[in-house]
Amino acid sequence: MEFNRVEITEEAALIVEQLKQQHGEVIFHQSGGCCDGSSPMLLPKEDFYIDDNDILLGEVAGVPFYMSHDQFEYWKHTHLTVALTNGRGASFSLEIPLGKRFIIKSRLLKEEEINFLNK
């Protein structure tokens, strides 16, 4: 059986599709820190510099989901779901003007998932 580290809700995926139409290729990058930190940011692919310091956790709605390596060390035992809520978030994330905000729902990875993902 296949497992993944990150998924997306149907509602959030619809907004991602809408924003892809508007902005072209996009990526998710998990933020940390102050204010609107600890939330995923959806950014134009060309805008954000990704390198070996970032880990690709998977793809959701056809969009790669990245997190910085050192942050992943503290997150790697959890499974993430990109969800959507109403709200006026700050940050440069592309959904902000819609009055929507992507947020992360987390749960612990099960043993079989950890075995699969770390093999």
Partner 1 sequence: MNYSKPKFKEKYGNFINGKFEAPDDGEYFDNHSPIDNKLLAKYPRSKESDVKKAIEAANNAKDAWGKTSVGERSAMLMKIADVIEANLNEFAQMETADNGKAIRETVNADVPLAVDHFRYFASVIRAEEGSATELNENTVSLIIREPLGVVAQIIPWNFPLLMLAWKVAPALASGNCVVLKPAEQTPASATFLAEKIADILPPGVFNVIHGFGPEAGKPLASSGRVDKVAFTGETTTGQLIMQYASKNLNPVTMELGGKSPNVFFSSIMDHDDDFLDKCIEGAVLFAFNQGEVCTAPSRLLIQEDIYDAFIEKVIARTEAIKMGDPFDMNTMMGAQASNDQHEKILSYIEIGKEEGAKVLTGGAAMKLEGDLSKGFYIQPTILKGHNKMRVFQEEIFGPVLAVCTFKDEAEAIEIANDTLYGLGAGVWTRDAHQLYQVPRAIKAGRVWVNCYHDYPAHAPFGGYKKSGFGRENHLMMLNHYRQTKNMLISYDKKKLGFF
Binding site for partner 1 (CB under 8 A): 29-39, 41, 43, 47-49, 68, 70-71, 74-75, 78, 85-94, 96-97, 101, 103-108
Kindly state the smallest distance separating residue 64's Cβ from partner 1, in Å.
14
Q: How far from 66 is each of 24, 45, 97, 111, CA to CA, in Å?
A: 18, 11, 22, 23
Q: Which is nearer to partner 1, 17 or 110 (CB)?
A: 110
Residue pair 40/106 in contact by the 8 Å Cβ criterion: no
Q: Which amino acid is at 107?
A: R
For residues 29 and 117, give the distance between their C-alpha atoms in angstroms, rounded to a whole number. 20
Kindly state the smallest distance separating residue 49's Cβ from partner 1, in Å.
6
Q: Which is nearer to partner 1, 31 or 60 (CB)?
A: 31
Q: Which amino acid is at 49?
A: Y
Say what the alpha-carbon torsion angle 30, 100, 85, 114 is, to the nearest 10 degrees.
-20
Kindly state the smallest distance separating residue 40's Cβ from partner 1, in Å.
9
**Residue 17: strand, helix, or coil:** helix
Kindly state the smallest distance separating residue 51's Cβ from partner 1, in Å.
11
Q: Which is nearer to partner 1, 43 or 61 (CB)?
A: 43
Q: Which is nearer to partner 1, 41 or 61 (CB)?
A: 41
